Structure 1
């Protein structure tokens, strides 16, 4: 499971330790983003306040989805770095837009 990401980092001049640290950092960021999004969604279910639903969606699109895209697209589909970066950036922009709608809009 760690084969392709480790090989990619090593071919760029890194070490296995750096590759593992990057992987663990991405995994921790993903877990924290999912936990925050779940807590926001649970708050929405409890009180039916639409801003909490938009916040959960925004956090998911801002942090969790780009992390998955940056890891899975090159690993499983062999996507280019340009494709991966564009899709992750689109997800981040959509997440920020959802959060801005939560703060300034009237959801």
Structure 2
């Protein structure tokens, strides 16, 4: 574990930090469950729109949540990079969802 660079947070109360972390974990778990259900629907119905919906939800919520937690924890990436990676994931997710709804997948 010596290869990991761990950063510490300062300036906040412990209950607020724990509540924020629990909220992020719940959001990540719900996003993963929705992705699983959409992917299962795709496998059953072979409807490409469901696959694009699963990809969109994964990129919209699960990927940015993971990026916001893992990047600052495991790297020394600046806040701007973390926000940029999360924002790109969200934009790609919204694009995939719009394609699933309005496109011709």
Does the alignment pair 1:72 with 2:70? yes
Question: CA offset at residue 78 of structure 1?
Answer: 1.7
Larger relative contact order (Cα-Cα within 8 Å, sequence gap ≥ 6): 2
CA distance in 2, matches of 1:46, 1:25: 32
Any unmatched runs of 5+ in structure 1? none
Does the alignment pair 1:28 with 2:26? yes
Q: Which residue of 2 aligns with 1:41?
A: 39
Shift >2 Å, 4+ stretches: none
Q: Which has the higher helix share?
A: 1
Q: Deviations over 1:33-61 (max 9, x none)?
A: 00001000000000100000000000000
Any unmatched runs of 5+ in structure 2? 1-5
> Normalising by structure 2, what TM-score?
0.92
**Alignment root-mean-square deviation, CA:** 1.1
